[in-house]
Structure formats: structure tokens, C-alpha cells
Structure 1
Amino acid sequence: MTTLLTVEGLTIGFGNAAPVVDNVSFSVEAGKTLALVGESGSGKTLSCRAALRILPAAAQIRSGSVTLHGANGPVNLLDLSERRMCDIRGNQVSMIFQEPMRSLSPLHRIGNQVIEVLRLHGAAKGQGARRQVLETFERVGFTDPERIYESYPFELSGGMRQRAMIAMAIVGKPDLLIADEPTTALDVTTQAQVLGLIKDIQKDTGMAVVLVTHDLGVVANMADSVTVMNRGRVMESGPAPLVLGDPQHGYTKDLFAAAPKIAETATETVLDHTPDYILEMKNVSKTYVLKGSAPWVPKTVVRAVRGIEFGVERGKTLAVVGESGSGKTTCARMALGAELPDEGGSIVFRPDLGGDAVELQDLDRAGRLSFQRKAQMVFQDPYSTLNPRMRVKEALTEPMEIHGLGSWEERTDRAVEMLNWVGLSPNMLTRYPHAFSGGQRQRLSIARALMLGPTFLVCDEPTSALDVSVQEQVLQLLEEIRDRLNLSYLFISHDLAVVARIADEVAVMRDGLVVEQGPPETLFYDPKHPYTKALLAAQPEPDIERPINLKIVAQGAGEPTTWPDAFRFDGLQAPPLIQMGPGHKVRCHV
């Protein structure tokens, strides 16, 4: 195989400070995948951005070379003019960014943004370009490509926005794809399909991939070679079977030790108690009506949530898992009163044991403000939740200021305390959000959510942007806070290993419906529904000998009309949830 990209002795710094990327070297061959692995802030993304010359303005490339071996021979990308780099970006070298909402224009439709790649590089025109974009949308897992083409980014879930970014990166069929956490926001079934898609494109076109990830399961399923980075330096590199099978460096061994895993055996389930729900949803549905792209185009009815019935026990964690667009985040928003359920649904909040119940849909302005002190949310996209013009200190103290709590000194002390809780230094209070890595920004979001001392916390993918070692710390932190303060969590995640660790009960959602519900000890070791089985089969494991079985994933993630007879249904005529055992419910025909 021919080497496509070579990075040699790359050193990047800011001002007079020590380099943040120090003498980094790696290479990737055509048709192969190189995985850059390491903690958040280790210099992985900066090294990749240097190849496209899209570093921050203050960054200095102090030494090194980035050589692209194209059809016209090798060329050092660091020496090219900006005009020539514009021809290379998106055409020969493309990049998938970690935070899709930051990368997509909120003012333009998704289809127009993706088709722009083809128009800029002359790859296709007119209806041919549109057809190519729709085909790419279908390949990345969109079931309704036409609707996605006409949608704006805010109309899509986080995972769907990430799939749109992947489509934008691969629509031009580049020689090299730099994928910076490409599956961070994706559920495991879509992740498995997208990883399979990238492999298929590599086989068809000989495309090389530089994969930046903290998910060792993804590395095991994708990488031909691995480079492990820490604090801007390469710790270990080599063929994937050797690095994953027999790591030599202590840092690499620590990464594997911190990776969350589903336990080999189930623990005993204890269900002999009467549940005390801090939040309970009864017959909750949510329907959206989307206007057409033109006055003569009919409106689209989207049933995001259909007949949800579950509760979050006081001091416990209910995890909601399912693919992107299944209604998980809509449930979370309704649980916080940010969205009202359709008529006939009821969401009851009981702030105190034995106290009065509050109907969220009936709250007035004052009641909603009081409720928000007791219920907070950690959002999926950390960058969009932090004001880029606010320093960390202002961002953290703002909730207390809104609610009129504490003096200026007390608010500052609380901010310092929260930073310590999430593993950040108090000297970060004067910085702006853009000065932090993706994982650090997520920790800031968690600190902000804890500022008011809530009793109920909704966590929407709170660890999806974190590397495995920091993820381990945050999960341990969330568990300690929950146990110390008797907090209750509604925890949304697509990472089943994380869910298996933190959840007391799990609800599996698909297309707005709960298809299976029960304790993790039951769902993960004795699943009944084909979709639950697909989620488990799609979970990547950090073992190169245990690849993802795409056939099982495709069967369970397919249309409900293709499921086995006991679970099959068409349209809106879904079977009811049937009690299969203690605390275990499955949507199936009797």
C-alpha cells in the first residue's frame, strides 16, 4: 500500500508557552485507518487540523511537515498557498468535526449545505448533485432523505446532525477522511452502520481514514494502526492488533483499564419495594407539525413520543436508550417542563418524600421558576450551552444570579467548589469556553447544572464527548453526588456500557415508543425484543477478536414490519407493553 499522508516532527504552540503538540509523527496508507487515541486535550485534534491548515489564529506551527502523496506527487501542505488549500479541503481531504451544531449553519437547510461541497469542487451539478446528496443521506442512515434535505439543523437531534456532517464529509468522495470523534453523538446501532459505511467506502474508493476517538471499542473495529497520544506527545504506536492486544506503555494500559464495559455476569436484582417516584410520566405523547418547504407543500406530522409511562425513583437512575430520533431528548425536555405533552398526558413531580405533587403542564411562571431550582439538565452539546462571550465564572454564577441566591462572594465560592467537583482547576474561572477541549466543556456544563443544588438531574448524553479516563471520573462523580445528595437522574445515553454501570432501570425507546423496560441485569443478559438485541450486538468492545455483528444489528434496527411475528407491527398499531417478569416489560403481541 502507498502512504497517503505523512506527519513528521509536528510541533505546535501558543505564544511563548511550551508546545501543546511536541514532535508528533504518524502516517496512514491509502485504504487504511489510523486511530489517534488519547485523553481530551492531548493534541489529537490540533494535529489533524494542522493537515488542513485550520488551526486557531494564535497557534504557531514551530516545526515539522505534513505531506500529502496525491496523484501529482508528494506535496507539503504547510507550504501551500491558501488558494491551493481551498482546492484540497473537502475534495482530496475532508474532515468530520466533533460538534455538529457548531459546524452547521443555522440559517441554511441541511441539503443546501451538503450540496455546496459538490458545487464548490465541480463534482456534480443540478439534479445530479441533488440525487447524489440524497443517496449519501440514505447511506448514512436517514430513513427520509427528502425531509432531511429540506430541514434546518435545529429541527434535527444531535445524532442526526452528526450524520449530516458525515454525509457532508463523504459526499465528495475524498482521498483522505479525517474523522474527529465521528460517532460521538450517535446511538450504537447507527454507529455500527456508519462504521460499516466508512469501511465500505474505503473498499470502493481506497479512501484513507485518520480516526480521532476515545472509544477503544471503535478503535478495535476500525483501526489498522494506532497512535496513542498524551499531553501533546506520542506514547505508543504500531499495528492495531499489537497495541490493543499487548499494550506496552503504562498510559495505554490505563486507558484500557478505564474503558467502561458491560459486566460478564449479571448481579442479583432486588425489586421488593414500593417505588417512590420523584417524577412520573403517565400516557405522555408529543406531536410536532412541521410546515412544508413551500405554501403548496403539505405539513408533516411527527409523532416524537407515543404513550410513555415510566417513573424516576427518588435517589435512583432511570436510563433511556435508543437510536437518534427515537424521542429520548423529547422525553427529557418534557420532564423539565421545556415542552408540554399532548392533551391527555400527565407529568407529575414530587419534590419531597410524602409532599405535594406538582403537575408540570399546569405550572405558572412563578411555579416553573421554583421547579427549575430543583430540576436541571446537562445537555448533549456542551459548546451550544455555554455563552462564548461569557467567562467561565459568569457562566457558572449566572443560575444563582437569576434565582437571586447568595452574595457575589458566595456565588464565586460555589463556582470554585463545582469546578473542583468536576475535576477542573479554579484558575479556569477567567477563561472563555473556546479555550477548553470538548471534554472540558462538557465538565463545565455539568458544573453549571449543579450550581443550584438540584434534586432531579436530566443528563442528556453527559459523557458522550469525554475520553474514557475522564468519562470514568465523571461517572464516578455523578454516582457520588447522587448518593451523597440523594439525587435522582433521568440519564439519556447511547453507550450501553455506561448505562449498565450507572442505571437502576432502563427504558429502551424506538420511534417514540418504549419497546422494552426493566433493570439492566435483565435487559442486558436476557433481552427479549429484537431492537434491544440489536443495541447489545452493536456495542463496540475493545477486543479486536470480537467485531460488531452487522447482521444482528440490521435485523433489530430495521423496520418494525421486518421483526419476528411476536413483535411485528405496521404504522401506529403497536402492540402493548406486556409484563414478562418482575419489573420487566416488553412491547409484544400476547
Structure 2
Amino acid sequence: MTALLSVRDLTIGFGAGEPVVRDVNFDVEAGQTLALVGESGSGKTISCRAVLRILPRTAQIRSGVMQLNTSKGSVALSEISEREMRGIRGNRISMIFQEPMRSLSPLHKIGNQVSEVLWLHRGASESEARKEVLSQFERVGFPDPARAYDSYPFELSGGMRQRAMIAMAMVSKPELLIADEPTTALDVTTQAQVLGLIKDLQKETGMALVLVTHDLGVVANMAEHVVVMHKGRVMEAGSAELILNAPAHPYTRQLFDAAPEIPDKEAVGIPMPNEDLILDMKDVCKTYTMRSSRGWKADKLIYACRGVDLKLARGKTLAVVGESGSGKTTAARIALGAELPDPGGEVLFRAAPGEDPIRVHQMTREERKAFQRKAQMVFQDPYSSLSPRMRIQDAMTEPLEIHNIGTTAERRDKAAEMLERVGLNAGMLKRYPHAFSGGQRQRLSIARAMMLDPSLIVCDEPTSALDVSVQEQILTLLERLQDSLNLSYLFISHDLAVVARIADEVAVMRQGLVVEQAPPETLFYNPRHPYTKALIAAQPEPDINRPIDLKLVALGAGSPDSWDDVFRFSDTMIPSLVEMEPGHKVRCHV
């Protein structure tokens, strides 16, 4: 059987340097999935971009043949004209990019950008395209497809933007879909649903899939064949069953060892102590008003947080878990004073044991400046949080300059010390952010947050965009810093395996509400709420014999109206958070 896509002896280089991809070979058959697995910088993405001929200007394909074989005939992708290639991109071959904010136009509405594929390649009218796009938006998990259609990219969360990218790639029903980390920015329930959607589309259309990922659990659920890459070379290739059950190459085994997993040993969790609280959030609510785009329609209220009560003990980690739009990041911003809660809610912060608490949203100018020294944030996207125009030294010393701490030499020495502490070296201070890998940029973000010697750090999805080996390094770093400096972490995540490793207590959020809260040992082995059960069921495992249970995921991740009566809630009827056992709270009707 002839492969739909055949890549032979692909070698890519930049300028006069050594090749970054050398002699790569792989085949993709119609209706099947090939997973390209490896760390950042292994050559996965650039190999896929070469197929579509969208490489950076300085990159050269030094050798190799890329052949697309369909019922319409064979096409040598490396030899056809750019005009012919434009007829293939987005039509016969589509690609889902990893960073949606850099791939979507900030000046055009999401619906128009997705519809453009149908206008260009199918000749669809505006009304036909809108109907097809809204249907696709519903399938990829948009809770309000019409609202998303009329939104700009900056009005959507990172997970929502990634869903739009997936819809854009799939709306034309291509013969080959190249998915570059398509679910990295998605919560696990949406990831499970999107993976199921891609599988359904493969069955309907016979579409082939090249899946670029570092998540071995996703590989186990999706792929028939696997190619493992490292430093531009293929380390191991074969059937998914063979490689996942018995990896032969040491590098493949190293990837398995680095992958975090929910522990399979039953234990009883100990509730987080409440004696010495560094952060205490009481009845925090946040409501936004979304103005209607049509004058005759009423404005809509968006409930981002509703009655959130969270307590973080000094030196401990409280993880907040939930899907995109559940209110996790809003709660974190309120905790740091970056957002005002609705009247009635308050946030208390104690800089040191025994001190009187500070009301975060009633601080004077001087108190706010002191608070900002003690509470810092590590953002989800380190590339966006570091200025591309500032050298690392300037970015690192800027907090000290703002707070007027130390001399220029002392600030530079502090920056060098922090780089060493996070596993980098002082020689990197003169570089710009673009010269670092994703994992290194995340280390830089952590080092910058540490410059003011804070006692509280809010980590907003700090490992979601990282491959498993770098993720392991970052988690180890955070644990080491916590142990040595007695740091407290408010840890935002959608990855339960990461949470199981780092958290002392877990709060699960859905639609602005904390629906279940307990130590991880209790939560993972005795979940009560249907949404918590869905999160656990949706966590992909690197075991080909344990696929994701999509029915259980759909039940818990669906509308609250589909839950059992005891768990249902609405805008007007919200059950209380009830303590079912010591330290284990569930939102339900008693």
C-alpha cells in the first residue's frame, strides 16, 4: 500500500551551519496516525513545516524528497511551484500550530479567519461558511459558538484560541492534518474531546494525521506508528504498541521516566494545616459585563468566580485545577491584587507568621509596594512575559530598580546568583529572550520572580507548554526552591499528573465555583464530584491498553444539567461546599 505522505532523507540546515535535521524518514498512511515524539529542539516541528514549505527564510532543505500520494495522483511537494503549493496548504494538507496567538490575526474576528478557508478553497458563500464554522466550533467544545465567532483573539482564553486553530485546520476536511502540539494549551477534558473529534473525522474522511507531541499519554491514545527524534535524528521508529510497551533506545526510555503520572498507590491525604496562613481568600466573586454587539440585546453577565474560599498555608502548595474559563486565573489575579473582587469578598495576606493580615484590596500605595515584593507571579507563556527588546540582565534587574534595591553592581550580582539557582549561568545575562529554548525561558521567568525574595509565588500553568523532560526539571526546581526558601505556591494547572506530584491540597473549579477540594491522595482515589471524575478519566496514560473513557469524560465535563440531582447547580441555585470527610469538601445538595 502506497503511503499518503512519504518523506525520505530529509536534511535541513540554517546558513552555513551544521544540519538541524539529518536524514529523517517517515511514512503516513491514509486514515492512520503517526506520532513524532521528542524534546523541544529535536527537529519535529521544522520537519513538518518542511512538508508545507513554510520554513524560516534562513532555513534550507539541503536534501530530501517529500511525496504526497492521493487518488488524484502523486505530487512532489519539494518540487512544485509556490502557486501550486498554495492550493494544497489549508485544503489538502492542514496544520494546527502550537502558539495560536502568534498564528491568529489580532485585527480580524475568529469566525472570519476560520471561514476564510472555505471561501478560498471551497467557494462557499458567507452564510454557508458561517453555518459550517459554527458547527465545527460546537464540535471542538466552544460553549457559545456564536459568541466565539464574533470575538477577536484577545477576547478568548488560551485554550479557546487553540480550539479555534483546531477548527480552522479541520473545517476543510483535509486529506492530511499536521497537528503541532494541538492540545498543549487545553485542559484534559477538552483535550480528550478534541482527540476523540480528530479520531471521528479520520473515520469519516480517511484523513491521515501527523501528531507532533511530547505527551506519551496522547501518543498511546492516538497513534498507530511512532517516530522518536532527538537532536535532528530519528532515534527509534516502529509501531506504537512495540515502542510504548518495550522502548529499545535509551533516549525513549528516558522520556518515559520523565513523564509525570498520577500515582496508583492508594493513600489517605492529610488536610493542609490552617494555623499559619499566608493567603486567605474569603467569599471571592468576580462578575464581568459583556456588552452586546447589537443595540437591542441586553448586556450579558459573566460569572468568572463565585464564592471562592481558598486557604494557603505557609510553605505549602495549593493547586487550583479546572478547564479554560473555569475562573482559575481570575482567582489568581484577585489573590495578587491585579483584579478587584465584587463587593463582599476579601483577600488577606500575612507576610510573616504572627503578623496582622493585610487586606490586599484596601492597601495604601506604600503597602502595595511592600506586598508586591512578597508576592510574585510566573506566567504561562514565558515568551510573552519577557520583553523581546530587553537583555536578560535588564529584565532580571528591573524589579530591583523599581523598588530601589541595591547598587547597579549588586543588582547584576543578584541576577547572576538567581540564574545559577535555576540551573542557568551568568554568561547568559547579555542575551535576548529569543536566544533561549522554551524550558530556559520558563527558568528565566522563575528567576525573575525570585529577584525580590518573595514568600508567595503564583504559578499560572508554568509547565503546560514544556516537553516532559524539561517539565520534570522545572518541577524539581520549584520543589527545591520551596524546600530551601520556605516558599508558598498557588499553582494553577490542568495537568493532574503534575498536580499529584507538587500539591499539598487541590481545589477543582468549574464555571467559577470550587466543586471539590481535598489533599491529592484523597481526591484522586475517592473523587465524589462528576467533574472531578471526568478530569481523572481524561488524563491520558502512556499505556496503549488503557484508552481514555470518552463517555465518562463527556458526562462530567458536560453541562451541569446532565449531572445527578445532588450535584446540579445554576445561576440562581448553587449548593454549598460540604465537608464529606475531614479535609474533603464537595459542592452538593445535602
Normalising by structure 1, report the TM-score: 0.96
**Could you tell me which residue of structure 2 aligns to residue 309 of structure 1?**
309
SS across alignment from 2:142: coil
- Relative to 1, partners in 2 of residues 1:425 and 1:238: Cα closer, same or farther, differing over 3 Å? farther
Supply the distance in 2 between the matched residues of 1:150 and 1:79 (Cα, whole angstroms): 40
User: Which segment is superposed worse, 142-151 or 448-457?
Assistant: 448-457
Supply the distance in 2 between the matched residues of 1:424 and 1:174 (Cα, whole angstroms): 43
- Relative to 1, partners in 2 of residues 1:53 and 1:404: Cα closer, same or farther, differing over 3 Å? farther
**Could you tell me which residue of structure 1 aligns to residue 121 of structure 2?**
121
Report 1:154-233 matches (<5 A): 154-233=154-233
Supply the distance in 2 between the matched residues of 1:533 and 1:382 (Cα, whole angstroms): 31
In the TM superposition, residue 240 of structure 1 has moved relative to its aligned partner by 0.3
SS across alignment from 2:334: helix
Is the Cα contact below 8 Å between 1:24 and 1:233 reproduced in 2? Answer: yes
Report 1:418-429 matches (<5 A): 418-429=418-429
Q: Which consecutive residues of structure 1, in runs of 5 or more, have no partner in the other structure?
A: none
Report 1:125-524 matches (<5 A): 125-271=125-271, 273-524=273-524
Supply the distance in 2 between the matched residues of 1:141 and 1:572 (Cα, whole angstroms): 24
- Relative to 1, partners in 2 of residues 1:108 and 1:539: Cα closer, same or farther, differing over 3 Å? same
User: Which segment is superposed worse, 156-165 or 368-377?
Assistant: 368-377
Supply the distance in 2 between the matched residues of 1:111 and 1:264 (Cα, whole angstroms): 43
User: Which segment is superposed worse, 370-379 or 521-530?
Assistant: 370-379
Supply the distance in 2 between the matched residues of 1:140 and 1:66 (Cα, whole angstroms): 31
Is the Cα contact below 8 Å between 1:8 and 1:24 reproduced in 2? Answer: yes
**Could you tell me which residue of structure 2 aligns to residue 565 of structure 1?**
565
Supply the distance in 1 between the matched residues of 2:419 and 2:92 (Cα, whole angstroms): 42
Supply the distance in 1 between the matched residues of 2:73 and 2:434 (Cα, whole angstroms): 37
In the TM superposition, residue 455 of structure 1 has moved relative to its aligned partner by 1.2
- Relative to 1, partners in 2 of residues 1:343 and 1:409: Cα closer, same or farther, differing over 3 Å? same
Q: Provide Cα deviations, 1:449-472, integer angstroms capped at 9, x if missing partner.
A: 223222111111111111111111
Supply the distance in 2 between the matched residues of 1:447 and 1:216 (Cα, whole angstroms): 29
Supply the distance in 2 between the matched residues of 1:302 and 1:503 (Cα, whole angstroms): 29
User: Which segment is superposed worse, 20-29 or 401-410?
Assistant: 401-410
Supply the distance in 2 between the matched residues of 1:295 and 1:433 (Cα, whole angstroms): 45
- Relative to 1, partners in 2 of residues 1:144 and 1:64: Cα closer, same or farther, differing over 3 Å? same
In the TM superposition, residue 495 of structure 1 has moved relative to its aligned partner by 0.7
In the TM superposition, residue 268 of structure 1 has moved relative to its aligned partner by 4.2
Q: Provide Cα deviations, 1:352-395, integer angstroms capped at 9, x if missing partner.
A: 11113111111244432322221111112222212222333333
**Could you tell me which residue of structure 1 aligns to residue 83 of structure 2?**
83
SS across alignment from 2:4: strand
SS across alignment from 2:63: strand
Supply the distance in 1 between the matched residues of 2:4 and 2:428 (Cα, whole angstroms): 40
Supply the distance in 1 between the matched residues of 2:533 and 2:141 (Cα, whole angstroms): 19
Q: Provide Cα deviations, 1:245-268, integer angstroms capped at 9, x if missing partner.
A: 110000001110111011111344
Supply the distance in 1 between the matched residues of 2:479 and 2:332 (Cα, whole angstroms): 20
> Aligned letter for 2:202?
Q
SS across alignment from 1:269: coil
Supply the distance in 2 between the matched residues of 1:172 and 1:104 (Cα, whole angstroms): 17
Is the Cα contact below 8 Å between 2:274 and 2:311 reproduced in 1? Answer: no
In the TM superposition, residue 473 of structure 1 has moved relative to its aligned partner by 0.9
User: Which segment is superposed worse, 476-485 or 104-113?
Assistant: 104-113
Is the Cα contact below 8 Å between 1:102 and 1:384 reproduced in 2? Answer: no
SS across alignment from 1:26: strand
How many residue pairs get aligned? The number is: 590
Supply the distance in 2 between the matched residues of 1:165 and 1:540 (Cα, whole angstroms): 22
Supply the distance in 2 between the matched residues of 1:428 and 1:150 (Cα, whole angstroms): 44
Is the Cα contact below 8 Å between 1:457 and 1:487 reproduced in 2? Answer: yes
Is the Cα contact below 8 Å between 1:3 and 1:69 reproduced in 2? Answer: yes
Is the Cα contact below 8 Å between 1:414 and 1:451 reproduced in 2? Answer: yes
Supply the distance in 1 between the matched residues of 2:447 and 2:372 (Cα, whole angstroms): 16
In the TM superposition, residue 432 of structure 1 has moved relative to its aligned partner by 3.2
- Relative to 1, partners in 2 of residues 1:17 and 1:428: Cα closer, same or farther, differing over 3 Å? farther
- Relative to 1, partners in 2 of residues 1:76 and 1:404: Cα closer, same or farther, differing over 3 Å? farther
Is the Cα contact below 8 Å between 1:312 and 1:490 reproduced in 2? Answer: yes
Supply the distance in 2 between the matched residues of 1:59 and 1:427 (Cα, whole angstroms): 27
In the TM superposition, residue 92 of structure 1 has moved relative to its aligned partner by 1.3
**Could you tell me which residue of structure 2 aligns to residue 542 of structure 1?**
542
- Relative to 1, partners in 2 of residues 1:173 and 1:437: Cα closer, same or farther, differing over 3 Å? farther
**Could you tell me which residue of structure 2 aligns to residue 5 of structure 1?**
5
Supply the distance in 2 between the matched residues of 1:4 and 1:312 (Cα, whole angstroms): 54
> Aligned letter for 1:154?
F
SS across alignment from 1:3: coil
Supply the distance in 1 between the matched residues of 2:431 and 2:520 (Cα, whole angstroms): 40
SS across alignment from 2:525: coil
Q: Provide Cα deviations, 1:385-409, integer angstroms capped at 9, x if missing partner.
A: 1222233333333333333333333
Is the Cα contact below 8 Å between 1:101 and 1:384 reproduced in 2? Answer: no
Report 1:579-590 matches (<5 A): 579-590=579-590
Is the Cα contact below 8 Å between 2:457 and 2:489 reproduced in 1? Answer: yes
In the TM superposition, residue 271 of structure 1 has moved relative to its aligned partner by 4.1
Supply the distance in 2 between the matched residues of 1:497 and 1:330 (Cα, whole angstroms): 23
**Could you tell me which residue of structure 2 aligns to residue 552 of structure 1?**
552
Supply the distance in 2 between the matched residues of 1:426 and 1:12 (Cα, whole angstroms): 32
User: Which segment is superposed worse, 66-75 or 333-342?
Assistant: 66-75
Is the Cα contact below 8 Å between 1:442 and 1:465 reproduced in 2? Answer: no
SS across alignment from 1:298: coil
Is the Cα contact below 8 Å between 1:33 and 1:225 reproduced in 2? Answer: yes
Q: Provide Cα deviations, 1:120-143, integer angstroms capped at 9, x if missing partner.
A: 223522211001110010000011
Supply the distance in 1 between the matched residues of 2:70 and 2:370 (Cα, whole angstroms): 61
- Relative to 1, partners in 2 of residues 1:349 and 1:202: Cα closer, same or farther, differing over 3 Å? same
Q: Which consecutive residues of structure 2, in runs of 5 or more, have no partner in the other structure?
A: none
Supply the distance in 2 between the matched residues of 1:132 and 1:425 (Cα, whole angstroms): 52
- Relative to 1, partners in 2 of residues 1:427 and 1:321: Cα closer, same or farther, differing over 3 Å? same
**Could you tell me which residue of structure 2 aligns to residue 64 of structure 1?**
64
Is the Cα contact below 8 Å between 1:123 and 1:172 reproduced in 2? Answer: no
> Aligned letter for 1:311?
K
Is the Cα contact below 8 Å between 1:40 and 1:440 reproduced in 2? Answer: no
SS across alignment from 1:340: coil
- Relative to 1, partners in 2 of residues 1:59 and 1:287: Cα closer, same or farther, differing over 3 Å? same
Do structure 1's residue 111 and structure 2's residue 96 form an aligned pair?
no
- Relative to 1, partners in 2 of residues 1:71 and 1:288: Cα closer, same or farther, differing over 3 Å? same
Q: Provide Cα deviations, 1:92-118, integer angstroms capped at 9, x if missing partner.
A: 111111112222222222112211222
Identity among equivalent pairs (%): 68
- Relative to 1, partners in 2 of residues 1:58 and 1:403: Cα closer, same or farther, differing over 3 Å? farther
- Relative to 1, partners in 2 of residues 1:399 and 1:2: Cα closer, same or farther, differing over 3 Å? farther
> Aligned letter for 1:475?
L
User: Which segment is superposed worse, 112-121 or 193-202?
Assistant: 112-121
